[in-house]
Chain A
């Protein structure tokens, strides 16, 4: 049962344009969402997060949007840079229910073309 889904295995974007990565979830108990970025041969690194009490969180070039009714979140990167090329994982947790683990999506490989 895939509770967190990233339906696009890969995405290719021109440098300077906007990258939009999508994530859907099925568990309505999830109340905290995170995005991680992973380079080859490295562990995932935390990028940005959002609580279910918000619908948007921004940090520099990165913005995460949450649509609770649609159980959908997206990560926007603008402008995209070559160093953004990596695999991006969406993750969710039911923190307010005492959950202590993150449930991850399958990842989307983002390639930024010069």
Chain B
């Protein structure tokens, strides 16, 4: 596609429920990244994929968070048993190869609200 697409754009969920966030990177982009931005905070790195493998998962906050990527394309970020502190904007980005001089192209994000 023309850009990085994320769905849903907004998600309100009850505490304790599981949620799945989807990212469709730019076609041909091999690297895919997940970040999140909590209210008043900067962008916090979660995980990145090179192809379908995730060499760096160091940013995942807890074992309730997991992510996968299939076919070197679409990625899903799953949060199990959501908590209120999970409320944030979850941003996905992709790049043509590993981090290049233009950085990443970001999607518009999924705003997650846990009530």
Contact = CB atoms under 8 A, between A and B. Distances in A.
A46 B103 contact: yes
A91 B48 CA distance: 16
A101 B42 CA distance: 14
Contacts of B42: 4, 6, 89, 104-107
A44 B91 contact: yes
Interface string B39-73: 01111110010100001100100000000000000
B103 A95 contact: no
Interface of B: 4, 31, 33, 35, 40-45, 48, 50, 55-56, 59, 91, 93, 98-99, 101-109
Contact of B108 (A43, A49, A100): A43
A100 B4 contact: no
Nearest to A105: B42
A42 interface: yes
The 8 lowest CB-CB distance pairs between A and B, nearest first, are A43-B106, A104-B43, A106-B42, A104-B42, A34-B103, A101-B45, A43-B108, A44-B106
Interface residues of A, number: 27
A67 interface: no
Nearest to A6: B42
Contact of A101 (B41, B99, B102, B109): B99
A110 B106 CA distance: 20
Given A32-B101, A34-B103, A104-B44, 16 more contacts: A4-B42, A9-B40, A36-B106, A43-B93, A43-B106, A43-B107, A46-B103, A49-B101, A91-B43, A93-B99, A101-B45, A101-B56, A102-B45, A105-B42, A106-B40, A107-B42
Nearest to A93: B99
B41 A106 contact: yes
A100 B56 contact: yes
Contacts of B106: 36, 43-45
